[in-house]
């Protein structure tokens, strides 16, 4: 294994009114990355009229202006997860704002992922692709194996939209399939997002995930630093660096 563990507290569970302090607290407690959930809201009326929907998730969180503000307070890797219908619209502004990683959803990028990946790179960010629980893992293969490959696959282990949901163990098969691609692409990061914590990390680490997003289990713990180090130790044990 050549990829290292990256523990990424999800700032969605932080106190948004004190974001800079929360970010510093997480980095001081040992976080490798800060996971930023960018969501584009939901229109109930529109979605009932049009299945394709104009919005990706039933929640509205933060955007590039918040990333730009936070960047002034931290040099940490900002692992941005875009749950939006038109990721292309946000590449330039996210790059300028100081995002480090730009992970888009495959469900909304089937037609233009190559252009999207190139633009993400040109904007100085690291491209990643995410997939929802009901999306077949095969959908991301071309993005890993293509000419302009992504550097990370994010396997959603809950339906995107909210923190604090229950981990879906059945998603570990997908993690396993993506892990198999590491034989050819050894630096491929595999991230899991949703319901990760002390009771679920073993399954995710054993399946091959090395980037661990954790919101409620970290922010809700009496000692978040202990959870961060437990998550890291589990990945290190399951996937020793060789
Ligand atoms: C859900 C988000 C997650 C969320 C995870 O759509 O992508 O990053 O914050 O939160 P927990 O760890 O509480 O499930
Ligand atoms: Zn996320």
Residue list, ligand 1 pocket, CB within 6 Å: 10, 12-13, 35, 37, 81, 158, 160-165, 193-196, 213-217
- Of the ranges 51-55, 128-132, 164-168, which one carries the lowest mean pLDDT score? 51-55
* Ligand 2 center from residue 157 Cα (angstroms): 10
pLDDT given for residue 50 in this prediction: 44
Test site for ligand 1: of 132, 165, 227, most ligand atoms within 8 A of the Cβ: 165
User: What mean pLDDT, rounded, does the chain reach?
Assistant: 94
The rounded percent of the chain whose pLDDT value lies above 90 is 88
Is 118 assigned to a binding site? Answer: no
Q: For residue range 138-162, what is the model confidence (pLDDT) as tens digits?
A: 999 999 998 899 999 999 999 999 9
- The pTM of the full predicted model, rounded to 2 decimals, is 0.95
DSSP output for the chain: --PPPEEEEBGGGS-GGGHHHHHHHHHHTT-SEEEEEEEB---HHHHHH-TT-S-SSS-B---HHHHHHHHTT--SEEEEEEE-S-GGGGHHHHHHHT-SEEEEEGGG-TTTHHHHHHHHHHTT-EEEEEE-TTS-GGGGHHHHHSSS--SEEEEESS-TT-SSPPP-GGGHHHHHHHHHGGGT-TT-EEEEESS-STTTHHHHHHHT--EEEESHHHHTSSSHHHHHHHHHHHHHHHS---
The rounded percent of the chain whose pLDDT value lies above 70 is 95
Alpha carbon distance 235, 201 (integer Å): 8
Test site for ligand 1: of 7, 11, 213, most ligand atoms within 8 A of the Cβ: 213
Structural domains for the chain: 6-238 (3.20.20.70)
- Give the tokens for residue 6: 């990256």
pLDDT given for residue 1 in this prediction: 75
* Ligand 2 center from residue 114 Cα (angstroms): 22
**Catalytic residue positions, numbered:** 37, 193
- Closest CA to ligand 1's atom 7: 160
* Ligand 1 center from residue 34 Cα (angstroms): 12
Q: For residue range 210-228, what is the model confidence (pLDDT) as tens digits?
A: 999 999 999 999 999 999 9
Contact present, 99 and 87 (Cβ < 8 Å): no
Measured in degrees and rounded to the nearest 5, phi and psi for residue 24 equal -65, -40
The yes-or-no verdict on residue 73 having pLDDT over 60 is: yes
The yes-or-no verdict on residue 233 having pLDDT over 70 is: yes
């Amino acid at each position: 294994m050549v990829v290292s563990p990256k523990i990424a507290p999800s700032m969605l569970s932080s106190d948004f009114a004190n974001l800079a302090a929360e970010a510093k607290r997480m980095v001081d407690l040992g976080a490798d990355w800060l996971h930023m959930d960018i969501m584009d809201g939901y229109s109930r009326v529109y979605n009932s009229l049009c299945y394709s929907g104009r919005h990706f998730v039933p929640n509205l969180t933060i955007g590039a202006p918040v990333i730009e503000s936070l960047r002034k307070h931290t040099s940490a890797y900002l692992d941005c997860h875009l749950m939006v219908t038109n990721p292309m619209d946000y590449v330039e502004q996210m790059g300028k704002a100081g995002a480090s990683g730009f992970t888009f959803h495959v469900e909304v990028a089937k037609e233009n992922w190559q252009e999207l990946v190139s633009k993400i790179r040109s904007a100085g960010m690291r491209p990643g692709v995410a997939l929802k629980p009901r999306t077949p893992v095969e959908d991301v293969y071309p993005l890993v194996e293509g000419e302009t490959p992504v550097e990370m696959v994010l396997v959603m282990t809950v339906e995107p939209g909210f923190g604090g949901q229950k981990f879906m163990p059945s998603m570990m098969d997908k993690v396993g399939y993506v892990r198999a691609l590491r034989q050819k692409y050894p630096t491929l990061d595999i991230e899991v997002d949703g319901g990760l914590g002390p009771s679920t990390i073993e399954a995710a680490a054993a399946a091959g995930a090395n980037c661990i997003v954790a919101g409620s289990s970290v922010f809700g713990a009496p000692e978040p630093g202990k959870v961060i180090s437990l998550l890291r130790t589990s990945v290190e044990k399951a996937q020793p660096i060789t």
